[in-house]
Structure 1
Amino acid sequence: MRLDVVTIFPDYLTPLDLSLIGKAREDGLLDVRIHDLRDFTHDRHRTVDDTPYGGGAGMVMKPQPWAEALDHVLALDNPSGAKPRLLVPGPGGRPFTQALARELALEPWLAFACGRYEGIDERVYDHAREDLGLEVSVVSLGDYVLNGGEVAVLAMVEAIGRLIPGVIGNAESLVEESHEDGLLEYPIYTKPSSWNGRDVPSVLLSGNHGAIAQWRHEQRLARTAARRPDLLHASHAGGADGGDLEIAAATPGDVPELAVLLLACAAREAGAAGTSGTPDAHASVDDVRASLDTSITWVARSGGRLVGAVRTPRSPSPDGEWAISRLCVAPDLEGRGLDRRLVEQAEAAAPDGTRSVTLHLGSGRPEALKAYRKAGYRPADGSSSLPGTVTLVKRRR
């Protein structure tokens, strides 16, 4: 993976030479390049900021040095014309989570723009997207304000870099860490078994691996509930939908989570049906984003987590057909009635004049077919227009 960082304080990034990230750089697993923004200024003071239009306190980083710096990053050792994903640390961005770290670890090239002062001129973001064709993501390390983006970059590079194969010696140590499945890690102990009047829990000394696994899961739930109750969702608590289910039309901000959910559902359907031709098996983030322009995707959230989705058209077909497709529920929440809630939302969105509702379901779910037959749906004549699915029809009165 290649990482380019543009900053006015290159020395701030020297910790990236240390520990496992530094070793990964030495081994060629990470190619980290630091660029001084002031090298792209043209006055003797090497000025990178100026006063804000409209008044106000503080200074704003000028667009021209940033434009030249980004041009330089794209041109440097890049004969193929590849482009990085540009990340801009900022308190107004998408929260940086373990899930996002895993998403970014799959990218071959990331670039970071470290803002300072009051931030970067907004036109730099437009230039990067529209003129350079970069995917730009503003990412927040937390709900607080830092003096600049360098601290956030250090944290993000460490979180992302350690997920690159080969960076961590024992890959199994990544499996049960905090946030990997939405829960915090369980308490850990080492020798001696009794220290300073405090004993290691007896279950850990029992040799009963089933009991140990159960204890650890219970400890993870208890620790998460005590320290980060906002992380708990229905699959952990055991409720049908956590009592706080919200269904709304998807926005561009939902796209990354929605893409992951659709891929998870596609993999589940493919395994159940014994095929690889499900509609979303190869859907990219760009495909999901483009679908928001041509259809409406309804997403369900519980405890902040995106747990389900269903797609409807923006208008019925000329013959009054209302097509419901891409019905998807998080695999760990199946069988709790969430799919029916989503279908009810999709049915309610059908405008007056709709004569029939068609529902496309994965062909590997015979139990779902029985349930929807009770709800008034019947198998359609002929084969489904979507591979890996069956089509059901419900006439509207």
Structure 2
Amino acid sequence: MAELEIILQGLSENDDHETAVNQLLTASDIDNYLFSLAFARKNGVERIEDNLKKVADKSKLFIGIRNGITSVQSIFQLLKIGLTPYVVDTASNKKIFHPKIYAAYGETKAYVILGSANLTFGGLNQNIEASSYIKLNRRQKADEDYLQKLVQTITELTVKYPEHVFQITSPRQAVELLYEGRLEDERLTRLPVTNKTQCDKARDNLKPIPIVEKSNLGQNKPINSRKVKIVANTGVLVWESKPLAERSLNIPHGNNTNITGDTNLGEGLMENIDFQHYFRETVFSDLEWRKEYKSRNSHLERAIINAEIVIKNLSYGEFKMEVTHDPRTDTKSYMQRNVMTKIKWGEARGLIASRDLLGRTLRFFKKNATDFMIVID
């Protein structure tokens, strides 16, 4: 008789799908592995690739495409470790391929994780997800019937729908699907589509739900390694902050706090950026920079950006915001590796100077030369 356990990721202290899937991949006396998933991203494959690589010759993966999420980078990563995944293209936005099944089976036993977790970092670690972990005894008729129905139904998709379900065997084939719009490019981020009338309303002060999180995603690649054409409703992630503190959010801390109205653009969670030059020379290189020679800070270069501000997935409209940069390289501040580029919040300061944003991260997306989106979540 089947044995059942429940995985309540984010809600139960010791539950996460990364651990469960890796346990499934390392179970003894297993001859075959079958994964059927709606979405895949490179950061999801990376969480299980060490063990998945060891059983690549015994594995079949079926992954949905044409869904705005599954990426060409995830397919590259699977090919790199020796898998040639099958992809499922329903050719419709009304009915997408949406199962989340991880199965391992041998002569006498089988293990199945059946629930809500996709092959993404969020699905395996960060989201609130729920699945059943099912241990089957293949000598029991009910257990065997369950497994046979699962395996046959998924594996026969290639025969039943040969035009819609096919195998990717090369990076070139994956790139063709990218150009056709059926796979996503992770170098681009689909920007949130939100209610822009929120700018006329008071912002809520709800803090993040305090769920259990066991793993972090890591650093992001800087824009100078992201040569990519931006298309409609997408942007390139150019910067992500570390967890936001009072200084970054312009929240007063004590009576002697000096509120500057700006936020430093430093290293953040970006991988190996020269932050003293990166923003001026790469992120904001196309802006019209000027100096105010009669100003007390006449050495500063200044430019204006248009930035839509999205907080907790609600848009509060677009704001004109000033960016300042100190181009001097012979100062004590420069020699001490201090931040040289800042963004001034201006009229948007009232939106961000709030304690419910402490500990969240700020992501900066570039839509075109002068238009950006700031997402705090």
Please report the TM-score for the alignment, with normalisation by the length of structure 2. Answer: 0.30
Q: TM-score, normalised by structure 1?
A: 0.29
Q: Name the one with the larger helix percent.
A: 1
